[in-house]
């Protein structure tokens, strides 16, 4: 697989805040501690305070969660290494999208694994474990219930509700049978496990176990107990609302958009098929969309005795992660990096080290058929990031036999019109409006001729242009980046080595867009 790279800004697909963060703009430096370069990780290690007791709880939970799964030996070794005070994690998180969802899920994990490899080479005195944090408590089923394969959308419909990690994936049998090819990997995962979380751990282990990736499900009583004091403070004092609100306001004053918004209570009530917001009203805690209601004392007691019944929202989830993992960096996409920046002062408030924020690798995969078409057109892959009109204009300019631009002629015409106008004004100033209007007509005629020339040339190259546009549509489905729409099975089914080739192609500390071109 050949790799070409382009600057993220050239793609036209990334927010100003994200690009400015990667350029280390001074305006954003107060919203994070250390920039993601290898040499800063030693400083991050010194800043990370993680006790032996926490390590014991973490490894015990992970061993329990991996029980019964034929995990790769490297994964089991990494779980054992987490007992060692010289071991640290690099983490990414993602929803439990069925069949992995869009390609960028694969890219996130590849970046985490490669980051750990790079850090192990740079700091051999420490151990680095890649971690995938499953968003098993998420309840936005509509965001995870579909994937796109070979241009077709496959969707899971169910009556189940609550935290998606607790869903029974056995219902996916019918969807599995409808796929164009049998995929044993997912049949084993979905049909042999009783929860979506366990099924996800199963297939992620098969895909990435050789890289030592550890999958954690934070929907666990012992882990929640480690975080209960912070949740209690949020319920009692509503500290997060003011702190995150202030950070967000500062970011917005700089001209950027906020990604997340804080509530007075940043926690859900979690039980069976219910995950609903906790609302403080008239000194009582109400559970949204239910008849449940608790006094302050009842709620605080419940948190102490049954922490598993509480689930942090998007504001507190990052703090939960950093409380239960010896973590150094979080790897995510543009929106994730942006929203973590809103939380910086909240970490300070709770005396938690703020992780290094690393962008995941971004990529476009170009198969043999598409690269041949692009080469034949005389264009480059990066040209296809342009909008359709700009792409067509560039192709015509490159392939036209004759000069199509009349800019030089229009400039001469403008000078002639101005000369005529000056002469007319010398004779009679009342002719100014007339000569100006006639001059505009002449320029419009020239522009019309120029458009007709370009249109005639387009017609000449119609077949080539249509082929180029169709190639762009295949590589940018629905006008979006391929990685945000297509599933990895589009490539994996024909090339089982796709994931390893992706791992080989990515450089986690090269913050450019990777174009992965299949060998011709």
Assign 295 to helix, strand or coil. strand
Q: At residue 309, what are phi and psi to the nearest 5 degrees?
A: -85, 5
Residue 149 lies in a domain: yes
Assign 514 to helix, strand or coil. strand
Q: Which residue has the tokens 């009783």?
A: 194
Q: What is the DSSP letter of 496?
A: T
Cα distance between residue 185 and residue 470, in whole Å: 32
Q: Which of 282, 283, 312, 317 is nearest to 298 (CA)?
A: 283
Task: Assess whether 268 and 299 both reside in one domain.
Answer: yes
Cα distance between residue 452 and residue 316, in whole Å: 59
List C-alpha distances in Å: 92 to 12, 51, 220, 322.
25, 22, 19, 12
Task: Assess whether 194 and 208 both reside in one domain.
Answer: yes
Task: Assess whether 353 and 303 both reside in one domain.
Answer: no
Helix 432-460 and helix 388-399, axial crossing angle in degrees, nearest 10: 80
Cα distance between residue 18 and residue 359, in whole Å: 9
Task: Assess whether 72 and 133 both reside in one domain.
Answer: yes
Cα distance between residue 276 and residue 291, in whole Å: 11
Task: Assess whether 297 and 324 both reside in one domain.
Answer: no
Task: Assess whether 167 and 68 both reside in one domain.
Answer: yes
Give the model's pLDDT for residue 397.
77
Cα distance between residue 392 and residue 258, in whole Å: 36
Please list the pLDDT of the chain residue by residue as tens digits (520 residues): 899 999 999 999 999 999 999 999 999 999 999 999 999 999 999 999 999 999 999 999 999 999 999 999 999 999 999 999 999 999 999 999 999 999 999 999 999 999 999 999 999 999 999 999 999 999 999 999 999 999 999 999 999 999 999 999 999 999 999 999 999 999 999 999 999 999 999 999 999 999 999 999 999 999 999 999 999 999 999 999 999 999 999 999 999 999 999 999 999 999 989 999 999 999 999 999 999 999 999 999 999 999 999 999 999 999 999 999 999 999 999 999 999 999 999 999 999 999 999 999 999 999 999 999 999 888 999 999 999 989 988 887 776 555 545 567 778 778 888 888 888 888 778 878 888 788 788 878 877 776 776 676 666 567 788 889 999 999 999 999 999 999 999 999 999 999 999 999 999 999 999 999 987 6
Task: Assess whether 68 and 90 both reside in one domain.
Answer: yes
Q: Which parts of 82-183 fold into alpha helices (H)?
A: 104-122, 141-144, 173-178
Residue 122 lies in a domain: yes
Residue 515 lies in a domain: no
Residue 112: give the domain boundaries: 2-224+317-360
Question: How many structural domains compose the chain?
Answer: 3
Residue 374 lies in a domain: no
Q: Which residue has the tokens 């290494």?
A: 81
Give the model's pLDDT for residue 457.
60
Residue 134 lies in a domain: yes
Task: Assess whether 104 and 192 both reside in one domain.
Answer: yes
List C-alpha distances in Å: 129 to 50, 79, 213, 326, 505.
15, 8, 7, 10, 20
CA dihedral of 17, 19, 21, 23, whole degrees rounded to 10: -140
Q: Residue 519 burial by CB count (10 A; 0-12/13-18/19+): exposed, middle or buried?
A: exposed
Q: Which of 520, 518, 489 is nearest to 207 (CA)?
A: 489
Q: Which of 352, 313, 174 is nearest to 234 (CA)?
A: 313
Cα distance between residue 2 and residue 366, in whole Å: 10
* Beta-strand pair 214-217/127-134: parallel
Cα distance between residue 469 and residue 395, in whole Å: 11
Assign 328 to helix, strand or coil. strand
Task: Assess whether 48 and 157 both reside in one domain.
Answer: yes
Task: Assess whether 25 and 155 both reside in one domain.
Answer: yes
Q: Which parts of 221-289 fold into alpha helices (H)?
A: 221-237, 239-253
- CB distance 477 to 384 below 8 Å: no
Chain length of the chain: 520
Task: Assess whether 282 and 335 both reside in one domain.
Answer: no
Residue 344 lies in a domain: yes
Q: Which of 54, 63, 131 is nearest to 352 (CA)?
A: 54
Give the model's pLDDT for residue 404.
47
Give the model's pLDDT for residue 419.
84
Task: Assess whether 197 and 286 both reside in one domain.
Answer: no
* Beta-strand pair 284-287/293-295: antiparallel
Cα distance between residue 324 and residue 225, in whole Å: 10
Give the model's pLDDT for residue 520.
65
Whether the CA torsion 57, 120, 359, 490 is positive or negative: it is: negative
* Beta-strand pair 310-312/267-271: antiparallel
Residue 327 lies in a domain: yes
């Amino acid at each position: 697989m050949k790799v070409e790279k382009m600057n993220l800004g050239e793609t036209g697909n990334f927010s100003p805040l994200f690009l400015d963060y990667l350029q280390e703009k001074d305006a954003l430096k107060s919203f994070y501690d250390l920039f993601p370069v290898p040499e800063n990780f030693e400083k991050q290690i010194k800043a990370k305070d993680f006790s032996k007791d926490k390590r014991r709880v973490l490894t015990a939970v992970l061993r329990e969660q991996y029980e019964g799964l034929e995990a790769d030996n490297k994964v089991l070794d990494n779980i054992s290494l987490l007992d060692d005070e010289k071991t640290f994690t690099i983490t990414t998180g993602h929803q439990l999208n069925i069949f992995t969802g869009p390609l960028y899920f694969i890219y996130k994990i590849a970046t985490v694994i490669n980051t750990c490899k790079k850090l192990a080479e740079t700091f051999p005195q420490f151990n680095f474990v890649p971690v995938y944090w499953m968003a098993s408590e998420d309840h936005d089923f509509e965001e995870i219930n579909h994937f796109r394969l070979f241009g077709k959308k496959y969707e899971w419909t169910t009556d189940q509700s609550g935290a998606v990690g607790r869903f029974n994936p056995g219902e996916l049998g019918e969807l599995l049978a409808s796929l164009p090819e049998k995929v044993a990997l997912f049949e084993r995962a979905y049909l042999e496990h009783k929860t979506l979380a366990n099924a996800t751990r199963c297939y992620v282990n098969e895909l990435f176990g050789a890289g030592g990736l550890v999958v954690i499900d934070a929907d666990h009583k012992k882990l929640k107990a480690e975080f209960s004091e912070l949740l209690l403070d949020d319920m009692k004092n509503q500290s997060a609302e003011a702190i995150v609100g202030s950070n967000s306001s500062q970011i917005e004053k700089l001209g950027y958009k906020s990604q997340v918004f804080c509530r007075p209570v940043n926690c859900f009530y979690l039980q069976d098929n219910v995950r609903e917001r906790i609302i403080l009203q008239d000194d009582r805690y109400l559970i949204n969309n239910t008849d449940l209601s608790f006094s302050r004392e009842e709620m605080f007691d419940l948190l102490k005795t049954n922490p598993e019944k509480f689930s942090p929202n998007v504001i507190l989830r990052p703090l939960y992660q950093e409380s239960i993992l010896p973590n150094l960096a979080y790897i995510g996409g543009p929106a994730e990096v942006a929203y973590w920046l809103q939380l910086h002062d909240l970490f300070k408030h709770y005396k938690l080290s703020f992780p290094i924020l690393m962008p995941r690798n971004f990529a476009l995969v170009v198969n043999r058929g598409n690269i041949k078409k692009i080469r034949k057109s005389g264009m480059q892959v990066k040209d296809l990031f342009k909008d359709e009109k700009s792409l067509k204009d560039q192709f015509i300019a490159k392939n036209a036999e004759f000069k199509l631009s009349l800019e030089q002629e229009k400039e001469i015409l403008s000078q002639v019109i101005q000369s005529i106008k000056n002469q007319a004004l010398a004779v009679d100033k009342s002719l100014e409006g007339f000569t100006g209007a006639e001059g505009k007509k002449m320029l419009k005629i020239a522009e019309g001729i120029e458009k007709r020339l370009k249109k005639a040339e387009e017609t000449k190259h119609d077949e080539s242009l249509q082929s180029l546009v169709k190639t762009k549509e295949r590589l940018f489905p629905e006008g979006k980046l391929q990685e945000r729409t297509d599933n990895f099975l589009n490539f994996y089914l024909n090339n089982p080595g796709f994931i390893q080739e992706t791992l080989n192609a990515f450089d986690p500390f090269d913050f450019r867009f990777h174009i992965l071109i299949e060998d011709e």
